[in-house]
Structure 1
Amino acid sequence: MEIRYITPSDDRMQVSRIYEESWKCVYKNIIPQKFLDSIEEGSWATVLDSPGWNTLVCVEDGKYIGTSSFCKSRFSDYPTYGEIISIYLLPDYIGKGYGGKLFDKAVSELKKQGYEKLLLWVLEDNTSAKEFYIKHNFIQTDNVMNDDIGGKQLREVMYVSKNEK
């Protein structure tokens, strides 16, 4: 397994496929099924190179199996924080340790960039992700934001690295 920064030669459609398959699996029964079914191939291909974002890919035996994006906090209330924007794996690789390694690499890279305080947002109903972040030394804060995804009102909760609440 290799975890590295995305390069210009990496197949953006294959990396986008990780998001697509992960969303359809992880958010089943959280996000409306009609919305999940409507996710088009390549939906995330263009955001992987967003200005200011860093994107990692996790590759196993030549196959893209995971990805994580991170950056300086996108939220003006947290200008000194690094932010983990996303971490996704193909469904067959969830729960096998790849996510922890990918997450640890994203945290390490943010620390190398000088961020001592880190934040991320997670859907309130995504119990397994919340447990994952707690296991990786993040704690839930009282900060929430509302989202409308597929016509359903959902709440996201902010987690921060320990000692940053």
Structure 2
Amino acid sequence: MLNQSLEVSVRNARSADAGEIAQVFRDSWRLAYTGILPALHLEREIMRRDATWWRRAIAAERNLLVALHGDTIAGYATCGRARGGGRDGGEIYELYLTPVYQGLGIGEHLFEACRATLDGLDLERLIVWALEGNDRARAFYISCGGRPTRRSCVRFGKVLSTRIAFEW
């Protein structure tokens, strides 16, 4: 449910945002994936995606969006052509919010900004993948109208996990 009283804006990420995005990534991944991903893999991924990594990603990625609550980055998302192929398919690769901002409607702002970005690229279909154990993400995508359509396996270190595709 979108919280209309919350002042939220979405814009393209800037190099100066790298430190805040790294913090959003760290906090959201720990909340989302503790107990789902192997602990060592989770911490290595968090360490790898530091501010320097995010500065490079911002420079290379046109569709890296940030959601702001006032001047604070509450979350980020990346999107583009679907990695699985198909000329008319778009994909939201990542959409994460700092835990304190989850459940307030900010994720919907980011989701809709991604949809608008993909519409601007003439991509008619949309796919998002979520790990089977990530109940918050699955519930979020269902609340946005996504329908689970298929499953596949993905490896994290030595652990094999199931991911679910949501499509619109």
SS at match of 2:122: coil
Structure 1 unaligned blocks of 5 or more: none
Instruction: Quote how far apart the aligned CAs of 1:157 are.
Output: 1.6
Q: Which residue of 2 aligns with 1:12?
A: 18
Q: Which runs of structure 2 are paired with 1:127-146 in the superposition (5 Å)? A: 127-142=135-150, 144-146=151-153
CA distance in 2, matches of 1:50, 1:134: 31
Q: Which runs of structure 2 are paired with 1:1-150 in the superposition (5 Å)? A: 1-7=8-14, 9-38=15-44, 39-40=46-47, 42=50, 44-45=53-54, 46-50=56-60, 53-76=62-85, 78-142=86-150, 144-150=151-157
SS at match of 1:128: helix
Across the two proteins, how many residue pairs are aligned to each other?
Answer: 157
SS at match of 2:37: coil
Instruction: Kindly provide the CA deviation profile for residues 8-61 of structure 1, in whole angstroms up to 9, marking residues without a partner as x.
Output: x4321221221121101111211122332332161751334445x511111223
Instruction: Quote how far apart the aligned CAs of 1:100 are.
Output: 1.3
Structure 2 unaligned blocks of 5 or more: 1-7
Q: Which residue of 1 aligns with 2:3?
A: none
SS at match of 2:103: coil
Percent of aligned pairs with the same residue? Answer: 26
TM-score normalised to structure 2 length: 0.83
Decide whether the 8 Å contact of 2:149 with 2:166 is kept in 1: yes
Instruction: Quote how far apart the aligned CAs of 1:117 are.
Output: 0.8
Ranges of 4+ aligned residues in structure 1 off by more than 4 Å: none
Kindly report the root-mean-square deviation, in angstroms, between the aligned alpha carbons of the 2 structures. Answer: 1.9
Q: Which residue of 2 aligns with 1:157?
A: 164
TM-score normalised to structure 1 length: 0.85
CA distance in 2, matches of 1:84, 1:2: 18
Which is richer in helix? 2
Instruction: Kindly provide the CA deviation profile for residues 73-110 of structure 1, in whole angstroms up to 9, marking residues without a partner as x.
Output: 1222x332011111001111111111111111111221
